Amino acid sequence: MGRNIRKLSLLFAFVAIVAGMYSLCNRVGGYVTPKENSVEVVKKVDEVSTTTPTTVLTTVPTTKTKVNKTNKETVPTTSSGKNYPVIEKQFGEDGITYDNFCVKNYTDFSLDIATELKRGLPFKIEKNHQVQVLIFHTHTCESYLKSDTGYYPSDYYPRTTNNKENVTAVGDEIEKQLKKAGIGVIHDKTKHDYPSYNGGYDRSYNTIQKYMEKYKGIKVVLDIHRDAIGDDTTGKVKPTFKYKGKKASQIMIMTGYQYEGGGDFPFWRDNLDFAIKLQQTAETMYPGLTRPLNFGEYTYNLNVCNGSLLIEFGTDVNTIDEVKRSGKMVGKALAKVLQNN
């Protein structure tokens, strides 16, 4: 009898140890699913450039989600109660400096900015009010903070289908200024990154082709995004500058290059010239608006025409008011470039 009792005691002890290990694993989050926006670790998950700097966000796990009945997107509900700092800064000179602006060249192309400016633009906007500019968003749900508090909560989720809070609001501001200048524009608000983020560039490419087939006069194609810099450990970076006493987000214009193995990109140099001209004009009109122009080995659908650009407005910790203010400025600068060509 004593021997059997000892055997039973050892068996119970073993079961208790296993149960404790299982409980500990679950308490420390060993099986927690990460947030959807962890794909922003590579930012452009559909096509990653190895030579272009990548801003990294740490994955913040969540243990519970709910569905927002208003916009039907998954949003986090748990919070550790922590607030992380917003690191506000103005990006200045970096890379090649010319006149009042800068270009960061991540390619093997020997860039002479003066030569590129002399080349001018390969297209001309007609004064006929027909659609000649397409604005769209590959990552339509990229969003911003609602207010300028100097911090963001640990459960902050910088994506939404609410067009008043995501990058489509920036596109609206650009659209308004172009229309005021008499330039025909169409703004597509298709959510290419919802419900699935992956494959966004394939879907936005189809959208571009649809519009270019319908509106034969389209010469300019703009993909409006927002950036993300920093992480949840040290804080996220918010690029801003002041114009007439008000804060606005800085922008980063991106233009690609025909690199080995990078596919067919016959218009890369025309796009580069367009990017440089807009960079110079925007910085002249609104000193401090631009971060250094990013010229790198990527495509991101910029090979659809010779007037195609990708522009990042602020980061996920800029406020929606700051980026809308910048959208208005870029719209005015773009109108000036197009009218004076």
> From CA 328, how far away is CA 110, in angstroms rounded?
33
| Residue 305 and residue 213 in contact, taking contact as beta carbons nearer than 8 Å | no
Average pLDDT, stretch 4-21?
Answer: 44
Residue 63 has pLDDT above 80, yes or no: no
Lowest mean pLDDT among 24-33, 292-301, 322-331: 24-33
Query: What band does 260 get if pLDDT is binned at 50, 70 and 90?
Result: confident
| SS3 label, residue 189 | coil
| Residue 222 and residue 188 in contact, taking contact as beta carbons nearer than 8 Å | no
Q: Sort strands 184-187 and 131-136 into parallel, antiparallel or unpaired.
A: parallel
**What pLDDT is attached to residue 80?**
59
Q: Check the CA dihedral 64-59-79-230 and report its sign.
A: negative
> From CA 202, how far away is CA 57, in angstroms rounded?
24
Rounded to two decimals, what is the model's pTM?
A: 0.79
Phi first, then psi: give them for residue 290, nearest 5 degrees. -100, 140
Could you please report the per-residue DSSP string of 28-86?
TTTTPPBPGGGGGGSSSTTS--SSS--------B-S-EEE-TTT--EEE----S-EEEE
Residue 62 has pLDDT above 80, yes or no: no
pLDDT digits (tens, 9 = 90+) for 179-233: 999 999 999 999 999 999 999 999 999 999 999 999 999 999 999 999 999 987 7
Average pLDDT, stretch 266-286?
Answer: 98
Residue 74 has pLDDT above 50, yes or no: no
**What pLDDT is attached to residue 164?**
98
285 by Cβ neighbours in 10 Å (0-12 / 13-18 / 19+) ranks as middle
Give percent of the chain with pLDDT exceeding 70.
77
pLDDT digits (tens, 9 = 90+) for 135-170: 999 999 999 999 999 999 989 999 999 999 999 999
More confident: 286 or 81: 286
Cα–Cα distance list, 166 to 116, 126, 312 (Å)? 34, 31, 12
| Residue 262 and residue 299 in contact, taking contact as beta carbons nearer than 8 Å | yes
Q: Mean pLDDT in the chain?
A: 82
Highest mean pLDDT among 37-41, 45-49, 280-284: 280-284
Residue 325 has pLDDT above 70, yes or no: yes
Average pLDDT, stretch 293-303?
Answer: 97
Average pLDDT, stretch 300-325?
Answer: 98
| Residue 179 and residue 331 in contact, taking contact as beta carbons nearer than 8 Å | no
Residue 44 has pLDDT above 50, yes or no: no
